[in-house]
Structure 1
Amino acid sequence: MNGQNRKNVKPGIKVLVVKKEDQRTGKLTEGIVKDILTNSPTHPHGIKVRLENGIVGRIQEIIL
């Protein structure tokens, strides 16, 4: 499942995000969503979230 729709994102789900500094390489970081930072219902580059470990990034994939 992709992370471009805010309705698919809930605190507590496991996701793969790309951090701002990793956008060029596409390196993904796994974590659990703590806060949803994007207010719009969709975003073409992924919904921005804060993970429980404090990392901020855009969701590339939701792990079910």
Structure 2
Amino acid sequence: MVKNPQAGRPEAAPVKKKPAVKPKVKPKPKPKVKPKPAVKPKPIPPKPKPVPVKPKPKP
């Protein structure tokens, strides 16, 4: 018998690795997407008139 340096025990039979069992993944049900209601365009508010900045009096 040839000693297996990795096993350390010459009487140990070579262990066949079990094939990795892949767990059956259930396909996740896609959430039903509710149709979004038509978005009404918001009316653009009129821009406020720029307030004239009064020059600060220098002390």
TM-score, normalised to structure 1, is 0.15
Query: Relative to total residues, which structure has the larger helix share, 1 or 2?
Result: 1
- Where relative contact order (Cα < 8 A, 6+ residues apart) is larger, the structure is 1
Query: Relative to total residues, which structure has the larger strand share, 1 or 2?
Result: 1
TM-score, normalised to structure 2, is 0.16
Q: Higher Cα Rg: structure 1 or 2?
A: 2
